[in-house]
Amino acid sequence: MAAPIYGSREYVKYFFTADIDAKPRPILWEIALHTADPVKGDSNEVAETGYARQEVTFVSYDAPADVPPIDQRYCEAHSVADVVFPAGEAGQDYLVTHYTIRDKTNNSALAVAKLVVPIPVKEGSVITFPANYIKVRGV
Protein backbone atom coordinates (compact mmCIF):
# COMPACT_ATOMS: atom_id res chain seq x y z
CA MET A 1 0.00 0.00 0.00
CA ALA A 2 1.32 3.43 -0.91
CA ALA A 3 -0.14 5.27 2.09
CA PRO A 4 1.95 3.48 4.76
CA ILE A 5 5.15 3.97 2.72
CA TYR A 6 4.34 7.65 2.27
CA GLY A 7 3.48 8.01 5.97
CA SER A 8 6.73 6.32 6.96
CA ARG A 9 8.78 8.67 4.79
CA GLU A 10 7.00 11.72 6.12
CA TYR A 11 7.42 10.59 9.74
CA VAL A 12 11.16 10.10 9.39
CA LYS A 13 11.63 13.33 7.44
CA TYR A 14 9.44 15.34 9.85
CA PHE A 15 11.13 14.24 13.05
CA PHE A 16 14.73 13.63 12.01
CA THR A 17 15.60 15.86 9.03
CA ALA A 18 14.94 19.38 7.78
CA ASP A 19 13.37 18.12 4.52
CA ILE A 20 9.84 19.22 5.45
CA ASP A 21 9.00 22.80 6.30
CA ALA A 22 6.33 22.31 8.96
CA LYS A 23 6.25 24.09 12.31
CA PRO A 24 6.62 23.33 15.14
CA ARG A 25 8.96 20.46 14.55
CA PRO A 26 12.34 19.31 15.81
CA ILE A 27 15.22 21.14 14.14
CA LEU A 28 18.05 20.25 16.55
CA TRP A 29 18.74 16.73 17.83
CA GLU A 30 20.98 15.24 20.47
CA ILE A 31 21.93 11.80 21.74
CA ALA A 32 21.67 10.87 25.42
CA LEU A 33 23.26 7.79 26.96
CA HIS A 34 21.49 5.57 29.49
CA THR A 35 22.67 2.93 31.99
CA ALA A 36 19.39 0.97 31.88
CA ASP A 37 16.13 0.99 29.94
CA PRO A 38 15.09 4.65 29.59
CA VAL A 39 11.44 3.55 29.41
CA LYS A 40 9.88 6.48 27.48
CA GLY A 41 13.25 8.16 27.16
CA ASP A 42 13.73 10.08 30.40
CA SER A 43 14.88 7.44 32.90
CA ASN A 44 18.36 6.19 33.74
CA GLU A 45 20.37 8.82 31.84
CA VAL A 46 24.08 8.89 32.68
CA ALA A 47 24.59 11.34 35.56
CA GLU A 48 28.38 11.21 35.90
CA THR A 49 30.58 14.31 36.12
CA GLY A 50 31.77 15.38 32.67
CA TYR A 51 28.99 13.58 30.79
CA ALA A 52 27.04 15.71 28.32
CA ARG A 53 24.51 14.93 25.62
CA GLN A 54 25.93 15.30 22.13
CA GLU A 55 24.39 16.90 19.07
CA VAL A 56 23.62 14.81 16.01
CA THR A 57 22.49 15.68 12.49
CA PHE A 58 20.53 13.35 10.23
CA VAL A 59 20.03 12.97 6.50
CA SER A 60 17.15 10.99 5.00
CA TYR A 61 17.39 8.19 2.49
CA ASP A 62 14.62 7.14 0.14
CA ALA A 63 14.97 4.12 -2.11
CA PRO A 64 15.39 5.19 -5.75
CA ALA A 65 12.15 5.32 -7.74
CA ASP A 66 13.42 2.75 -10.25
CA VAL A 67 13.76 -0.09 -7.73
CA PRO A 68 10.90 -2.58 -7.33
CA PRO A 69 8.16 -1.57 -4.86
CA ILE A 70 9.19 -4.34 -2.47
CA ASP A 71 12.52 -2.52 -2.05
CA GLN A 72 10.81 0.82 -1.35
CA ARG A 73 9.30 -0.34 1.93
CA TYR A 74 10.90 2.18 4.23
CA CYS A 75 12.51 5.55 4.61
CA GLU A 76 15.51 5.99 6.82
CA ALA A 77 17.39 8.86 8.44
CA HIS A 78 20.97 8.28 9.56
CA SER A 79 23.63 10.30 11.33
CA VAL A 80 25.95 12.22 9.01
CA ALA A 81 28.98 12.58 11.29
CA ASP A 82 30.64 10.82 14.21
CA VAL A 83 28.98 11.44 17.59
CA VAL A 84 31.72 11.57 20.24
CA PHE A 85 31.10 11.74 23.99
CA PRO A 86 33.60 13.18 26.50
CA ALA A 87 36.10 10.75 28.02
CA GLY A 88 35.19 9.10 31.30
CA GLU A 89 36.71 10.88 34.28
CA ALA A 90 38.78 9.51 37.17
CA GLY A 91 36.96 6.89 39.23
CA GLN A 92 34.07 6.45 36.80
CA ASP A 93 32.81 2.95 36.13
CA TYR A 94 29.41 2.48 34.48
CA LEU A 95 27.80 0.57 31.63
CA VAL A 96 25.87 2.24 28.79
CA THR A 97 23.02 0.00 27.62
CA HIS A 98 20.74 2.36 25.68
CA TYR A 99 20.68 5.70 23.93
CA THR A 100 17.88 8.09 23.06
CA ILE A 101 17.51 10.51 20.20
CA ARG A 102 16.11 13.74 21.58
CA ASP A 103 14.55 16.94 20.33
CA LYS A 104 17.12 19.35 21.74
CA THR A 105 14.82 22.37 21.66
CA ASN A 106 11.96 20.75 23.57
CA ASN A 107 14.04 18.26 25.60
CA SER A 108 11.85 15.35 24.58
CA ALA A 109 12.79 11.83 23.56
CA LEU A 110 11.90 10.93 19.98
CA ALA A 111 13.39 7.43 19.81
CA VAL A 112 14.90 4.85 22.17
CA ALA A 113 17.52 2.29 21.15
CA LYS A 114 19.10 -0.61 23.03
CA LEU A 115 22.75 -1.26 22.26
CA VAL A 116 23.45 -4.76 20.96
CA VAL A 117 26.57 -4.83 23.12
CA PRO A 118 26.63 -2.60 26.23
CA ILE A 119 29.58 -0.20 26.40
CA PRO A 120 31.63 -0.01 29.61
CA VAL A 121 32.88 3.45 30.58
CA LYS A 122 35.90 3.88 32.82
CA GLU A 123 38.46 6.62 33.25
CA GLY A 124 39.61 7.75 29.79
CA SER A 125 36.96 5.77 27.89
CA VAL A 126 35.46 7.60 24.92
CA ILE A 127 32.19 6.48 23.35
CA THR A 128 31.98 7.21 19.63
CA PHE A 129 29.10 6.38 17.32
CA PRO A 130 30.49 6.53 13.77
CA ALA A 131 28.70 8.37 10.97
CA ASN A 132 25.74 6.36 9.61
CA TYR A 133 25.56 4.23 12.78
CA ILE A 134 22.57 5.97 14.34
CA LYS A 135 19.56 5.18 12.20
CA VAL A 136 15.86 5.83 12.40
CA ARG A 137 13.74 3.78 10.08
CA GLY A 138 10.07 4.20 9.33
CA VAL A 139 8.08 1.19 8.21
pLDDT tens readout for residues 43-71: 999 999 999 999 999 988 766 667 676 66
pLDDT, position 128: 96
Domain that residue 71 falls in? 2-137
Tens of pLDDT, residue by residue over 93-108, are: 999 999 999 999 888 8
Residue 129 binned pLDDT confidence (cut-offs 50, 70, 90): very high
> Could you tell me if 118 and 94 are in contact, meaning their C-beta atoms sit under 8 angstroms apart?
no
Q: What is the number of structural domains in the chain?
A: 1
Q: Is it the case that residue 2 has pLDDT exceeding 50?
A: no
Q: Is the peptide bond before 118 cis (omega within 30 degrees of 0)?
A: no
